[in-house]
A and B are shown apart, each in its own frame.
Chain A
Amino acid sequence: MALVDLDFPEQLERFGVDTALECFNCGTCAAICPLIHEHFPRKIIRYAQLGAKDRILQESDELWRCLHCGLCTYTCPREADPGELILGLRRYVIAKWRGRADV
């Protein structure tokens, strides 16, 4: 079971990401990603949309598998910028690790 926080996509704007809700989970990003790894980045983007913050933090190390190669962003049919979303989530997780008061 995971707790959801539907305001999370809005909170992500502070981390430079305002496209979380554009994604309709088609999986093009996971298909083109060179990692070929457990629906990356589709799954973690779904967590971001739902605000499943505990899951994001539990599985946070996965975020750093991303090569930042930009193929997902280049091919996303919704222009949801999945590569930038992963970067935004990295920023969020680092802020949590460093105990930033506003997250």
Chain B
Amino acid sequence: MFKPRDIIELIADNVKKTRNPFGVPNLLMNRWWKGLDLPAEGDVMLFTGLMYQSVPYIEMTTRHLERYEDSALEDYVRYGRYMPKFLVGLGLALLSSKEEKKKSADMLHSIAKVLAKSKVDFFYSPELDHYSGVLLYDLGDIDGFIRHASFVADTLREKGVKKLITVDPHTTYALKVLYPKHVGETFEVKTYFELINFRGENGTKQVTLHDPCMYGRYLEMSDVPTKVLANMGIECVAVRNSGKFTNCCGGPVESISPKLSKEILHRRAEELKSTGAPVVTMCPICMTHLKKGGVEVEDLSTLINRCA
């Protein structure tokens, strides 16, 4: 187990200086929209919160943390925050896998496509799309969270943005619940799968849905993706522990203890595998993590896009 204090101060410092937990410049991290010709202005903004874009970086940093946990090098994490951010950011951007970056961009492309297919008018502005700060909140750095979230909320307010479409459970929870409570800013927030209104099919008949904790319990939204899939002729095979009683994948403690997070992961992975149906989820953190547990998992967005 890493010392929580070292990890928290490193992440807090990264968010303060680069506006995301990895110390990577947002410009390098957020490139999925290039070449898509999405409207740059409008009433409703697609707000990704940079979570899908984080997948290649999470994948790489946790692989390194795994190597150093409980080793003599563990204590050196604390010095990470004294490294110049441009160096760390550039290094991470160059080292992270191109294939992973393409996969995470594909998921966001799928989301944009299914929204267009559902005739939802939306715009996208990379300058307004920021990380929500939710990890700082989860780690207990409430001051850091409020500081960062205020910046994000101010940026949106200045441009008159009031309606947002989110794509992942953590950003959705932050904007729906935490921003009004801690920053005093209320947005009209919908997640993309609430807006899908077409039917289709792609030959898939059954899947097992892994409910992320935030959608299943905190936001009580599990029935929405189940209905969307039913409209595509896809049945959700029940898994032990789902909906309000869904089991965590272990992802949230990955930065503090990869070992502990693997213990939790293996239990959930076994539950999911036991249904025999392909696994689908709608959280980039769960998806990256479940794959490490040997679960073949697809994101809801790409599955729906294949039905469009």
Interface set of A (CB-CB < 8 Å, partner B)? 15-16, 34-35, 60-61, 63-71, 74, 87, 89-91, 93-94, 97
Contact = CB atoms under 8 A, between A and B. Distances in A.
A68 B252 contact: yes
**Interface pairs A-B: 7 shortest CB-CB:** A90-B140, A64-B4, A69-B248, A69-B213, A70-B217, A67-B252, A67-B248
Interface string B123-152: 000000000000000111110000000000
B8 A94 contact: yes
Interface in B247-299: 247-248, 250, 252-253, 256-257, 260, 264, 267
B140 A91 contact: yes
Contact of A64 (B217, B248, B256): B256
A95 to B, nearest CB: 8
Contact of A69 (B140, B141, B252, B267): B252
B92 interface: no
A71 B264 contact: no
B140 A67 contact: no
Interface residues of B, number: 26
Given A70-B217, A74-B244, A65 B253 contact: yes
A74 B141 CA distance: 23
A20 B17 CA distance: 35
A61 B8 CA distance: 12
Contact of B4 (A15, A61, A91): A61
B142 A91 contact: yes
Given A16-B142, A61-B1, A70 B264 contact: no
Interface in B1-31: 1, 3-5, 7-8
Given A35-B264, A87-B140, A97-B5, A69 B217 contact: yes
B193 to A, nearest CB: 21
A71 B217 contact: yes
B3 to A, nearest CB: 7
B245 interface: yes
B86 interface: no
B33 interface: no
Given A64-B139, A67-B213, 4 more contacts: A69-B217, A71-B213, A91-B140, A94-B142
A93 B267 CA distance: 30
A94 B141 contact: yes
Interface string B174-199: 00000000000000000000000000
A67 B250 contact: yes
Contacts of B5: 97
A61 B256 CA distance: 10
Contacts of B3: 61
Contacts of B141: 91, 94
B8 A34 contact: no
Contacts of A15: 142
A67 B244 contact: no
Contacts of A66: 253
Given A65-B253, A69-B248, A93 B140 contact: yes
A63 B264 contact: no
B140 A34 contact: no
Contacts of A97: 5
Contacts of A60: 4
Contacts of A90: 139-140
A93 B141 CA distance: 10
Most buried by B among A69, A70, A94: A69
